[in-house]
Each structure stands twice: as structure tokens, then as C-alpha cells.
Structure 1
């Protein structure tokens, strides 16, 4: 719980799935969760990142 900044539960989708949006306190934690997404998928948890990409470094 100390790694999550905020969480939102979304309305149930038409196909019956429940979605939860999470915002992590640190980018390192988020990256660690994204790297472990294959292991989480085996347990029925699907991780997606639908964010705007970071701007290129100047």
C-alpha cells in the first residue's frame, strides 16, 4: 500500500470485467510491476500502461 499514490475503481465494463487504475509513487515501482506483468497475468491480473509517452530529452 505504501507504493500506491492513488487508486480508482472504474465502473464494470459491458463484458463484466472490473478495472482499477493505479498511480504509483515512484517510477521504479511502476517499472518493476510492468516487468512482472507476465507473472501477474498467470494469476488473472492484467497490467497495461496507457499513458502519454515522455517527451524526448533535449
Structure 2
């Protein structure tokens, strides 16, 4: 976990790194982890318009 509750999964989602999101999920990363501000990886991907990444997160159960 990085500063402010940001996880590697949040960072990957924020940067549109779809393959890394999948790898982290397969390594048991929490797909619905929340930052200290309450933001999920899905919200971060959508905020940056990374539709492919957001679609994968949704498919993996992200909200």
C-alpha cells in the first residue's frame, strides 16, 4: 500500500495498465480496495477514461 491508502491496483487502474490490473487481481489484490478518500480502482480507471481497464475491473467484480 502506498500513501493515502493507494494500492498497486489503484495505480495500475489510474494509468490504464489493463494487463497489470489482471496480474494483480490474479495475485489476490482486492479489486474493491478503497483509498483513504474512498476511491476504488474502478473509479480511478473511469475518471481517466480507461474504458478497457474499467471493463476488466467490472468483469472481475469491481464496483
TM-score between the two structures when normalised by the length of structure 1: 0.31
Question: Which of 1 and 2 has greater Rg?
Answer: 1
TM-score between the two structures when normalised by the length of structure 2: 0.29
Higher fraction of helix = 2
The one of the two structures with greater contact order (alpha-carbon pairs below 8 A, sep at least 6) is 2
